[in-house]
Chain A
Amino acid sequence: GIQVEQSPPDLILQEGANSTLRCNFSDSVNNLQWFHQNPWGQLINLFYIPSGTKQNGRLSATTVATERYSLLYISSSQTTDSGVYFCAVPTNRDDKIIFGKGTRLHILP
């Protein structure tokens, strides 16, 4: 089945810094989602981005479907950005999505 790899696994930054998180996937997909899991465990959908670039405030995401990767950019990090960031892609068969192992982000005040 399709494989999803995220990097880096862990990232520690000072408040105000910028960061780039990467998601590679092993097969072509027609959808990709980025999620943020906050320290209380809640998973929040950030972007639904099968291709191209989207921006929402300090966050933006770019998916290059032909090269099988997606990037999540966080600018001017805040402590509330801490948590785990997951990318998820659908299997080829149906609507279910599978997750990467995530990038754990710690923003220090």
Chain B
Amino acid sequence: EAGVAQSPRYKIIEKRQSVAFWCNPISGHATLYWYQQILGQGPKLLIQFQNNGVVDDSQLPKDRFSAERLKGVDSTLKIQPAKLEDSAVYLCASSLVYPGTGGGYGYTFGSGTRLTVV
């Protein structure tokens, strides 16, 4: 099966500019996640979608970050305006949901978008 697709692979922007990332999850995966991974750290969850609804966005800096998943498939993550500390790899993941199992069975990550803000 095809994996989680992300684009672009790399992006360099100046601070205060805007940027958008795209993700296409595995077909049939209802749950989609965006993670931010700063160099030397583990991935940190930014937002979780279940179909096209937001389940958790408690760690999303909403003053500058936004995300949508309009048709319950593809998703975009936007940063506007970008700051230097937003330099990181942005990972998209998707998973199946099996009630009662917990933990997002079948978690699959995309290759990520490496963002550098200068």
Q: What residues of chain A lie closer than 8 Å to B91, measured between beta carbons?
A: 43
Q: What residues of chain B lie closer than 8 Å to A50, measured between beta carbons?
A: 103
Cross-chain contact of B103 among A31, A35, A40, A102 (Cβ < 8 A): A31
Minimum CB distance partner of B97 in chain A:
A95
- Docked Cα-Cα span, A98 to B102, in Å, equals 12
Q: Given A41-B112, A43-B91, are A48 and B45 also a contact pair (CB < 8 Å)?
A: no
Would B33 and A29 count as touching, CB distance under 8 A?
no
Chain B: interface size category: 20 to 34
Would A30 and B102 count as touching, CB distance under 8 A?
yes
A64 within 8 A of B: no
Would A97 and B42 count as touching, CB distance under 8 A?
no
B108 within 8 A of A: yes
Q: Convert A11-46 into 0s and 1s, putting 1 for each residue whose CB lies closer than 8 angstroms to a CB of B.
A: 000000000000000000111110100001111110
Number of A-B contacts (CB under 8 A): 70
A68 within 8 A of B: no
Q: Shortest CB–CB separation between residue A87 and chain B, in angstroms?
A: 9
Q: Shortest CB–CB separation between residue B19 and chain A, in angstroms?
A: 18
- Docked Cα-Cα span, A45 to B107, in Å, equals 7
Count of chain A residues with a beta carbon within 8 Å of a chain B beta carbon: 28
Q: What residues of chain B lie closer than 8 Å to A90, measured between beta carbons?
A: 102-104
Q: Convert A70-92 into 0s and 1s, putting 1 for each residue whose CB lies closer than 8 angstroms to a CB of B.
A: 00000000000000001011100
Would A41 and B89 count as touching, CB distance under 8 A?
yes
- Docked Cα-Cα span, A96 to B57, in Å, equals 11
Minimum CB distance partner of A92 in chain B:
B102
Would A95 and B41 count as touching, CB distance under 8 A?
no
B binding-site residues for A, Cβ under 8 Å: 31, 33, 41-45, 48, 55-56, 89, 91, 93, 95, 97, 101-109, 111-112, 114
